[in-house]
Amino acid sequence: MVNVPNVKLNNGIEMPAEGFGVYRIDDFDDCKQAVKNALQVGYRAIDTAQQYNNEDAVGAAIEESDVDRKDIFITTKVWITEFGYEKTKRSVLESLKKLRTDYVDLVLLHQPFGDSYDSYRALEDLYDDGKIRAIGVSNFNSDCYIDIQHFARIKPAVDQLETHVFFQQKEMQAYTEKYGAKLESWGPFANGKHDIFNNPTLKEIGDHYHKSASQVALRFLVQNGIIIIPKSTSIERMKQNIDIWDFELSAEDMQLIESMDTNESSFMDLRDPKIVEWIVNSVPKN
């Protein structure tokens, strides 16, 4: 079984450098089995969210697993329908029930819209109460991240963003390093776009190390200090995705992959007004 190294967050707690994501694993039984398989393979971090509607399946899998809860790092995220101080506190306590745990290791604000500042204050108070071990944000680009970290009483430990070889988030890497947060990648395979699994550059590099293009793509991120949460429902792919800790890309390889950066989203650009309209219009008005 692969032992994934930990990274230390800005409040001193440690988080696995690689975890397992459950986005779009909607069926309860499918999600529960996927999480159980991931834990069996060696993953010790599980990333879910209120908006994924599978916290209950994650909780059931962890409860049924042979792995102790204290050895599993759980991340969940507060969706914008639950933003606002009181709503956020209630929603996190409801997430704890679904996850069948007394605390969550990391809670993120899922989007930088709506009443995110009151919600962040709610997370700070839940942190003080021991319900949360670390606080972070998700999809906060540099402007939003700099703003919230400056005024926060408890600084964000993580900013989770779309990050992959075609969208390397170099600016965010610089700012999270400057202000003490860790950059975490969602969508490390670019949502399957750019034919990433057959990319000739990644395949050629991988052949040198007897690794696949996808393993090279993941290794590039972790060598840049970026936390990753690849997702798959295939146990063989889970094994492949976690089998990246026994090789190191050369400086020349890293430089070559850096040249692949398009600096463009492969999923949804949160600076696009149409995308922002679509997200905020999904929230019912009071």
Q: Does the residue 4 lie in any domain?
A: no
At residue 286, does pLDDT exceed 70? no
Q: How far apart are CA 219 and CA 194, in angstroms?
A: 18
Confidence band, pLDDT 50/70/90 cuts, at residue 283: confident
* Average pLDDT score over the chain: 96
- Tell me if 2 is assigned to some domain: no
- Say if residue 162's pLDDT is above 70: yes
Q: What is the pTM of this model?
A: 0.97
Sheet containing 106-109, strands listed edge to edge, beginning at the edge strand earlier in sequence: 20-21, 45-47, 73-78, 106-109, 135-138, 158-162, 182-186, 227-228
Tell me the pLDDT band of 285, cut-offs 50, 70 and 90.
confident
Q: Which of 50-59, 149-158, 228-237, 262-271 has the lowest mean pLDDT?
A: 262-271
Q: Which residues are part of the catalytic machinery? A: 52
- Note whether residue 32 is domain-resident: yes
- The answer to whether position 9 is within a domain reads no
Is 6 within the bounds of a domain?
no
Residue 207 has pLDDT above 80, yes or no: yes
What's the CA gap between 50 and 284, in Å, rounded? 17
What pLDDT score was predicted for residue 271?
A: 87
pLDDT (0 to 100) of residue 270: 87
Share of the chain above pLDDT 90, in %: 93
CATH number at residue 173: 3.20.20.100
Q: Is the predicted pLDDT of residue 284 greater than 90, yes or no?
A: no
Domain range for 169: 14-279
pLDDT in tens, 93-102: 999 999 999 9
In-domain check, residue 161: yes
Residue 23: inside a domain:
yes
Average pLDDT over residues 187-216: 96
Give residue 20's pLDDT band: very low, low, confident or very high (50, 70, 90). Answer: very high
The answer to whether position 242 is within a domain reads: yes
- Report whether pLDDT(144) > 90: yes
Q: What is the pLDDT of residue 200?
A: 97
For the stretch 48-80, pLDDT in tens is 999 999 999 999 999 999 999 999 999 999 999
Beta strands 106-109 and 135-138, pairing class = parallel
Number of structural domains the chain divides into: 1
Of residues 71 and 279, more confidently modeled: 71
